[in-house]
Amino acid sequence: MPFGPAALVALDVDGTLLDRDGRLSEPVRAGVRTLVDAGRHVVVATGRSLVATLPVLDQLGLLSGYAVTSNGAVTVRLDPALPDGYELVDVVTFDPAPALRLLREHLPMAVYAVEDLGMGFRLTGPFPDGELIGRLQIVPFEQLLATRATRVVVRSPEHTPEDFLALVDRLGLHGGSYAVGWTAWLDIAPDGVSKAHGLAIAADRLGVSAADALAVGDGRNDLEMFAWAGRSVAMGQAPPEVQAAADQVCGHVDEDGLADVLRALSCPTTASTPTPR
């Protein structure tokens, strides 16, 4: 099924724009530029922190517009004329202490991190190189409880994503939104906040309706933006429940699946398209 015009294209980063080694392919980069040059609004929507998202925006040449980071807790307006190249449009925080205390009772060996907006993270122990970007300050667990946060990360290598899903369900955690990654990784955002929250803010400022938006992603933290957007595409390596929630499925990130979607958006009558669901 060919794509018609999409006024706003929301793109996840890891596993969608970037492969699992963090690389941006030239076909994907060129596809993004073609859409931007044609006047489409391309909005990156990611679980990454702001400081980890900015280099990706630079690689894509997205210097103006909007970006949604920290799974929707932080939305920024991009403008190269601003001193930092962006301004904060919306920031949602929550008290992470109740969830952190409860999780630590059940995951005492896990490593915990709290985002310091625009700086990096305070964390209880080291993460593998490249998983968190910015200033990384190792602190006692109690220091993570002291201030409100936009995002909390829990990493427990001995647990699978299925273990995390079962734990969140069993504990009945409240006070935050929870997203399980494709590794042993749990993201906690403010209650009710998701990528859809930030995208709705960006779309409103751009004068675009959700019906005129298309979202592409590969993770469980993309489900809400799939539901928000008029159309959605899941990457070929996405978990079954993510593929089932999307309107269509494209190729694997290692096969430049997103590039096919971007080409279809640019040339809807001639380009190959993802598989309808």
Instruction: Encode pLDDT of 234-249 as tens digits.
Output: 999 999 999 999 999 9
Spatial distance between the Cα atoms of 199 and 229, rounded to a whole number of angstroms = 9
Written as six digits, the tokens of 109 are: 């060996």
pLDDT value of residue 161: 76
Q: What angle do CA 53, 59, 63 make, to 5 degrees?
A: 75
Distance of CA 124 to the CA centre of its chain: 23
Tell me the angle at which helices 97-106 and 161-171 cross, rounded to the nearest 10 degrees: 120
Task: In whole angstroms, give the CA distance from residue 41 to residue 96.
Answer: 33
Q: Per-residue confidence at 182, pLDDT binned at 50, 70, 90?
A: low
Minimum mean pLDDT range among 51-55, 135-139, 166-170: 166-170
Mean pLDDT value of segment 254-268: 90
Q: CA 32, CA 233: separation in Å to the nearest integer? A: 16
Give the model confidence (pLDDT) of 192-249 as tens digits.
899 999 999 999 999 999 999 999 999 989 999 999 999 999 999 999 999 999 999 9
Nearest partner of 215 among 254, 265, 153, judged by Cα: 265
pLDDT tens digits, 131-160: 888 899 999 999 999 989 999 999 988 888
**CB atoms closer than 10 angstroms to residue 5:** 11
**Is pLDDT of 7 > 90?**
yes
Q: Which CATH fold topology does 8-91+193-276 show?
A: Rossmann fold (3.40.50)
Q: Are 97 and 105 in contact (CB under 8 A)?
A: no
Task: Tell which wins on pLDDT, 166 or 78.
Answer: 78
Can you give the residue ranges of every domain in the chain?
Answer: 8-91+193-276, 97-190
Pick the CATH number of 97-190 from 2.60.40.10, 3.30.1240.10, 3.40.1010.10, 3.90.870.30: 3.30.1240.10
pLDDT band at 162 (very low <50, low <70, confident <90, very high): confident
And the tokens for 123?
């964390």
Mean pLDDT of the chain: 90
